[in-house]
Structure 1
Amino acid sequence: MTAQRQEGNALRLGFATIGLAALLLCPTGPTARAEGATTERIVVDRHTGLAIDGFDPVAYFADGAARVGAADFEASAAGAIWRFRNASNRAAFVGHPEIYAPQFGGYDPVGVARGVPLQGNARIWLVAGQRLYLFSREDDRDAFAAAPERILARARAQWPGLIATMAE
């Protein structure tokens, strides 16, 4: 290796060390939001940590619509950050996340029934049996709506095997 290349490598290593030190020493500050870790068991945006693309899970029940939550109303649950439209929706979720969070971690129940964890889309949804389900395609939602118990029976049978292959 030439002396010039060695100097270049040393310079890059120095910058990398400074960058790493800055990241480790950087405080989160007073405006830090709820924190969450990306998990495969809950559909979470790996860049933001947001569950269901930042949509308010309570709004599906309260408003009967998919509504985007606000950064001012966040909660951390099940390794994800959840956003809400207002403080009362946040409080409802924090009190009962098992009711308001999408079933199968936000995976499409039709895909789960087939043994394939397909990420659900927060805009393609259905509340059935007082539970929220997200679907990857409108066709899957329509098939589910036509026979929810049949699909849920297969999805519930498949889910333990799928979840065992996912990271926590």
Structure 2
Amino acid sequence: MAFETTLTGVLAFGALCAGLACAAPAAATPGLNERVVADPASGIALFGYDPVAYFTEGRPVLGKRVFEAEWGGAAWRFASAANRAVFLSAPEVYAPQFGGYDPLAVARGRAAAGHPQVFAVLRDRLYLFRSPDARDSFADPAPAVAEWPAVERDLTP
């Protein structure tokens, strides 16, 4: 009986610790900042896609946990240490414009998350879109640039 009580206590304590370990990072996860489109479960920016790969490979590439870095209140993943270093040397260049929100929605004063697999690199900047149709109708970032400060103000930092 003492063994069962001790084992039950240890298991309960382990479950409590595991729960706290899971809860603490979620509360402190940098990616839960709404100003950057992130996976709501993990808090990882761009749902784990490497922002540099859009430029170097011309396609979305999933990053790896081992090559993770924090910037702008979000956790970012990269496919390689080299991509992480490149990003950290100029994050404003490689991070998606408007935090990864669709520029057409931003131009209308709304924050609609872009999809990391629906993108365009235009004038050396990365844009994410919520649909291929939105991407195909995108021509000029100027309207979104004008509206972004107001949209961003409404997002939780």
Instruction: State if a TM-score over 0.5 links the two structures.
Output: yes
Could you tell me how far apart the structure 2 residues matched to 1:143 and 1:56 are?
25
Q: Which residue of 1 aligns with 2:133?
A: 139
Q: Which residue of 1 aligns with 2:67?
A: 73
Could you tell me how far apart the structure 2 residues matched to 1:164 and 1:122 are?
23
- The percentage of aligned residue pairs carrying the same residue is 45
Unaligned ranges ≥5, structure 1: 1-14, 29-34
Q: Which residue of 1 aligns with 2:114?
A: 120
Unaligned ranges ≥5, structure 2: 1-11
- 2:20 corresponds to which of 9, 18, 23: 23
TM-score normalised per structure 1 = 0.76
- CA offsets per residue over residues 26-76 of structure 1, 9 Å max, x none? 999xxxxxx524111111122201000100100000111111111111111
Partner amino acid, structure 2, of 1:53: F
Could you tell me how far apart the structure 1 residues matched to 2:132 and 2:107 are?
16
Could you tell me how far apart the structure 1 residues matched to 2:133 and 2:40 are?
26
Could you tell me how far apart the structure 2 residues matched to 1:162 and 1:27 are?
29
Residues 20 and 109 of structure 1: is their aligned pair in 2 closer, same or farther, counting only changes over 3 Å?
A: same
Q: Which residue of 2 aligns with 1:11?
A: none
Q: Which residue of 2 aligns with 1:83?
A: 77
Could you tell me how far apart the structure 2 residues matched to 1:101 and 1:158 are?
18
Residues 20 and 84 of structure 1: is their aligned pair in 2 closer, same or farther, counting only changes over 3 Å?
A: closer
Higher Cα Rg: structure 1 or 2? 1
- 2:36 corresponds to which of 35, 39, 42: 42
Q: How many residues align?
A: 140
Deviating beyond 3 angstroms after TM superposition, the runs of 4 or more aligned structure 1 residues are 18-22
- CA offsets per residue over residues 94-137 of structure 1, 9 Å max, x none? 11110000000000001101111110000000000100000000
- 1:160 corresponds to which of 134, 149, 153: 149
Task: Say whether the 8 Å CA contact 2:31–2:44 is kept in structure 1.
Answer: no
Partner amino acid, structure 2, of 1:103: Q
Residues 20 and 125 of structure 1: is their aligned pair in 2 closer, same or farther, counting only changes over 3 Å?
A: same
Q: CA RMSD in A?
A: 2.3
2:96 pairs with 1:107: no
